């Protein structure tokens, strides 16, 4: 079994148990992207056990996200933080905290016990914290 399927499966399980869930379809040629109802969610996962969790976005990931945004109005990135939880941000939030740099694009999600996630990228941080319980409500 591919390592990411464990993490994606946990996220997909939360989606299909949501009362407003209607359908989920995998995006062709993008193993990390799924159409959920009328939105798209792009999964990134970290196998790290403890906070902070770091997510790197390579050029192919960035191209995938740009392509998805041209086709769908609602695009989200689900940052799967090991076995801790899921921190979901919109594509617009992603753009606020990242910028192209020589070091690459990265995001970290960090939280203390029973707290919300603090999210920062290579060029800034989100003002609001993101709750684990906001996924999948945010995308549905």
pLDDT on residue 2: 64
pLDDT on residue 100: 76
User: Does the 3-134 domain belong in CATH 2.60.40?
Assistant: no
pLDDT on residue 104: 75
pLDDT mean values, one per 10 residues, the chain (140 residues): 82 97 95 97 96 95 95 98 97 94 86 96 97 97
In the block, which residue shows the tokens 């070091």? 103
User: CA triplet 70, 75, 79: central angle to 5 degrees?
Assistant: 135
- CA distances in angstroms from 121 to 79, 98, 99, 113, 125, listed in the order given: 13, 5, 8, 21, 6
Instruction: Give me the half-sphere count of Cα atoms (radius 13 Å) on the Cβ side of residue 65.
Output: 21
Bridge-based pairing of strands 39-46 and 74-81 is parallel
User: CA triplet 89, 102, 105: central angle to 5 degrees?
Assistant: 10
pLDDT on residue 4: 84
pLDDT on residue 102: 62
């Amino acid at each position: 079994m591919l390592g990411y399927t464990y993490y994606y499966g946990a996220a997909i399980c939360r989606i299909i148990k949501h009362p407003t869930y209607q359908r989920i379809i995998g995006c062709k040629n993008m193993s990390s992207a799924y159409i959920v109802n009328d939105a798209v969610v792009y999964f990134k996962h970290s196998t790290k056990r403890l906070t902070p969790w770091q997510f790197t976005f390579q050029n192919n990931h960035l191209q995938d996200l740009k392509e998805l945004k041209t086709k769908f109005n609602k695009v989200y990135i689900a940052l799967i933080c090991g076995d801790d939880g899921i921190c979901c941000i919109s594509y617009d939030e992603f753009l606020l905290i990242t910028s192209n740099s020589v070091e690459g694009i990265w995001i970290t999600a960090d939280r203390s016990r029973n707290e919300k996630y603090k999210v920062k990228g290579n060029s800034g941080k989100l003002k609001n914290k993101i709750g684990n319980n906001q996924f999948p409500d945010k995308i549905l």
